[in-house]
């Protein structure tokens, strides 16, 4: 049987048999694939990831990085994409959060900021990220606890769309 591949995504898709050409013509299915979601390759773990140097700070080997900043009067959590753009943020500067908190920097504030950032990440479809911050202490532990309780994974999970033995040619 003769095999034909899709031109745009031949590297990531399985080839179509020639008999599928009739289905393409019959049902009006396009033979070119247009990726409308730029995060697709990140979600399946095959997108380009910057590496950087081994001991470089801040880290560069991530798709999304979650960080928390505790200032003198406020607490802010930020989710940053590898391109450097801020994806999601939650802060005690927001009036909707500030009105429910007694203090903007205590354990309760860090815990609630963690709950809010976890909820917002779920809303946009991001479930795994790395956690990178210089701060240490009980309030950071409370933040991590809230984020994990919210269902986020604080390491980047790489899910391959295929089994390792499927890829390539078997020469045995």
Which superfamily does 37-160 belong to?
A: Ribosomal protein S11/S14 (3.30.420.80)
Q: What is the pLDDT of residues 26-47, one digit of tens each?
A: 665 555 666 677 777 777 777 7
pLDDT at residue number 60: 77
Q: To 10 degrees, the CA torsion angle through 70, 73, 76, 82?
A: -60
CATH 3.30.420.80 boundaries in the chain: 37-160
Q: pTM value?
A: 0.68
Nearest to 66 by CA among 108, 109, 127, 137: 127
pLDDT at residue number 80: 93
Q: Is the pLDDT of residue 51 over 90?
A: no
Q: For the chain, give the percent of residues with pLDDT over 90.
A: 42
């Amino acid at each position: 049987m003769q095999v034909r591949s899709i031109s745009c995504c031949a590297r990531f898709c399985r080839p179509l048999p020639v008999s599928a050409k009739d289905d393409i013509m019959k049902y009006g299915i396009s033979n070119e694939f247009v990726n409308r979601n730029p995060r697709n390759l990140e979600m399946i773990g095959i997108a380009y990831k910057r590496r950087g140097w081994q001991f470089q700070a801040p880290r560069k080997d991530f798709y999304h990085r979650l960080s928390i900043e505790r200032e003198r009067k406020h607490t802010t959590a930020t989710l940053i994409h590898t391109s450097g753009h801020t994806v999601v943020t939650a802060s005690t500067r927001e009036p909707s959060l500030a009105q429910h908190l007694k203090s903007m920097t205590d354990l309760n504030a860090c815990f609630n900021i963690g709950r809010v950032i976890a909820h917002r990440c779920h809303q946009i479809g991001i479930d795994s990220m790395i956690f990178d911050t210089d701060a240490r202490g009980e309030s950071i532990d409370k933040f991590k606890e809230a984020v994990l309780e919210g269902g986020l994974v604080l390491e980047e999970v790489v899910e391959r769309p295929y089994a390792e033995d499927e890829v390539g040619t078997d020469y045995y």
